[in-house]
Amino acid sequence: MSAKILVLGAGGNVGRPLVKALRAQGEPVKAATRSGAAVEGAEGVVFDIANPATHAAAFEGVDRAYVMLPAGHVRAQELLMPVVNALVARKIKIVFQSVFGVDADDSIPYRQIELAIERSGVPFVILRPNWFADNFHTYWKAGVDHGVIAVPAAQGKSSFIDARDIAASAATALTSERFDGKAFNLTGPEAVGYADAAAWLSEVVGKPVAYQATDDASFIALLTGAGVAHDYASFLASIFHPVREGWTAAVTDHVQQLTGQKPRDLRRYALDHAADLKA
């Protein structure tokens, strides 16, 4: 049996379908989560990115790793670079889930991590997904429930990507050498504004859902009132600046390059997640 693939964040929106896809291909997988529970039939291993004492055991018997920063954390370099350095020392291939647009400025923390990986000498693939379509049934779910999605996006559009397409892209990157040494900007097939997204969601959930453009301070207050940590709420507010500037409206064919399939559009996402959106 070949060495195993380590998937960080294996219980998340990308990690779970990624583990499922890898298992379907017959790949041995170590599913890393804070609980260490098995995921989609894969071996579970305890891994807390903020607790280095949990890291070494997760790396044992691994020759490829999917690396990402779990939601809720903002100290990207501080938390991810020890992981990257440990993987490099073990000559483990890295498929890194970065962030759309960070290649615009080498001083951005995620870009600094990319550069370290690129210079490391180990095989790597960098994936930069745009805004997740799945945010509508996770971060913005309370808004959908109350009929108002209030975010500081102004009239900006985003080429929302379905987490399943990120997972499919990652599965290809982890099981092939064809894309090693490259970076891919992952998007959905079209740029959509929040007003249009709200209209489509209304049809799926069967009740009116509107978009309300808000300011950063109001958005942060809304999130912290719902229990989100202030630093993470501030981070989420800050990344709406590229949306307002139109930078997240770009569309690429990189999902199709990696997977051979066109990415799902936001309508398809909403239909497939109707139960989650209505719950």
Cα distance between residue 171 and residue 164, in whole Å: 10
Tell me the per-residue pLDDT of 132-157, one tens digit each, with 9 for 90 and over. Answer: 999 999 989 999 999 999 999 999 99
27 domain-assigned: yes
235 domain-assigned: no
CA dihedral 14, 19, 21, 24 (to 10 degrees): -170
102 domain-assigned: yes
Identify the pLDDT of residue 72.
Answer: 79
Identify the pLDDT of residue 2.
Answer: 66
Q: Which two tokens mark 169?
A: 């892209």
Identify the pLDDT of residue 225.
Answer: 86
Nearest alpha-carbon partner for 9 in 30, 28, 26, 27: 30
113 domain-assigned: yes
Tell me the per-residue pLDDT of 213-229, one tens digit each, with 9 for 90 and over. Answer: 999 999 999 889 888 88
Query: What is the number of domains present in the chain?
Result: 1
Cα distance between residue 114 and residue 119, in whole Å: 9
Q: Helices 76-89 and 109-118, interaxial angle, to 10°?
A: 10
Identify the pLDDT of residue 223.
Answer: 86
Which CATH number covers residue 62? 3.40.50.720
Identify the pLDDT of residue 1.
Answer: 42
Q: Say if CB 4 and CB 29 are below 8 A apart.
A: yes
Q: Please report which helix (H) or strand (E) contains residue 43, including its range.
A: strand 43-46
DSSP 247: G
Helix ranges, 151-226 (H): 163-175, 194-205, 216-225
Phi and psi at residue 40, in whole multiples of 5°?
50, 40
199 domain-assigned: no
Side chain identity at residue 185, one-letter code:
N
256 domain-assigned: no
Identify the pLDDT of residue 87.
Answer: 98
Per-residue confidence band for 237, with pLDDT thresholds at 50, 70 and 90: very high
DSSP three-state, residue 138: coil
67 domain-assigned: yes
Structural domain of residue 21, as residue ranges?
4-129
Cα distance between residue 77 and residue 245, in whole Å: 25
Higher pLDDT, 6 or 227: 6
Residue 181: left if φ>0, alpha if ψ -120 to 50, beta else—which one? left
What Cα–Cα distance (Å) separates residue 263 from each residue in 111, 127, 159, 251, 268? 25, 15, 11, 11, 10
Cα distance between residue 38 and residue 116, in whole Å: 31
Evaluate the CA torsion angle 83, 89, 90, 95 in order and state its sign. positive
Q: Say if CB 68 and CB 186 are below 8 A apart.
A: no
Side chain identity at residue 6, one-letter code:
L
Phi and psi at residue 48, in whole multiples of 5°?
-120, 115
Cα distance between residue 90 and residue 72, in whole Å: 28
Identify the pLDDT of residue 97.
Answer: 98
- Is 95 a residue whose pLDDT tops 60? yes
Q: State the pairing for strand pair 210-213/93-97.
A: unpaired
Please state, rounded to an integer, the average pLDDT across all residues of the chain.
96
Per-residue confidence band for 74, with pLDDT thresholds at 50, 70 and 90: confident
46 domain-assigned: yes
DSSP three-state, residue 21: helix
Kindly report the pTM of this predicted structure.
0.96
Q: What percent of the chain has pLDDT over 70?
A: 99
Q: Which two tokens mark 79?
A: 């938390």
